[in-house]
Amino acid sequence: MKKHLFPITLACLLLISLGIFGGFSAFAKNLAENSIEAYEDDPQEILFRNYIYSEKTVRAVCEKFHLDYDTVTVDEAFRDRECLDYTTSASLKLDSGNRPLLETFSSQIQDSLVSSLESYLNDVYAFDGGRQIIEKACEKYQVPLQSGKIQDFTIEQLMEIERKAYETSPHPH
């Protein structure tokens, strides 16, 4: 009996391990499928306030475009290109406004998707011309380039900066 005890114990442990691994795999698969379904929601049904933007940003957009904060959907909010552009610029100012303009001054920032206006423009518009656009905007609006922050620009000025980055980017529009 002792001779067969080790192989039987090993087989039982293997079966238990497979059962646990299989159960975890099924759980992870189910969780992933549910997550994907959540992102596939119809934009006509998703409330804008429940979308990816902060409450400050959504309220600013709703106020600017006379939208009802409690009922407007993503589809309704982004039907107008100007509203979409305003939303991204408002988010920059209101949610990342304390970030520097240039990447060289953002090395200490690790907690945000937007470390600087320059890195944002370069990433979003897939080019490396963000610095030149910011330099021209700082000169035009008299914002200090070295010590300036994103919040030093108005939302409309940020929209203009983004529009210029879009036009300058070598990638297809």
Q: Does the pLDDT of residue 165 top 60, yes or no?
A: yes
| CA–centroid distance for 44 within its chain | 20
Under DSSP, the state recorded for 105 is G
- The pTM of this model reads 0.71
Return the residue matching tokens 């656009």: 133
More confident residue, 107 or 96: 96
Backbone angles phi, psi at 68, to 5 degrees: -80, 115
pLDDT confidence bin for 35, thresholds 50/70/90: low
pLDDT attached to residue 26: 67
Of 83, 75, 80, nearest to 44 by C-alpha is: 75
Q: Does the pLDDT of residue 6 top 60, yes or no?
A: yes
Percent of the chain whose pLDDT exceeds 90: 57
Give the pair of three-digit tokens for residue 64: 């600017």
pLDDT attached to residue 172: 59
What average pLDDT does range 15-37 have in this prediction? 67
Q: Does the pLDDT of residue 82 top 70, yes or no?
A: yes
Handedness of CA 32, 37, 43, 46 (dihedral sign): negative
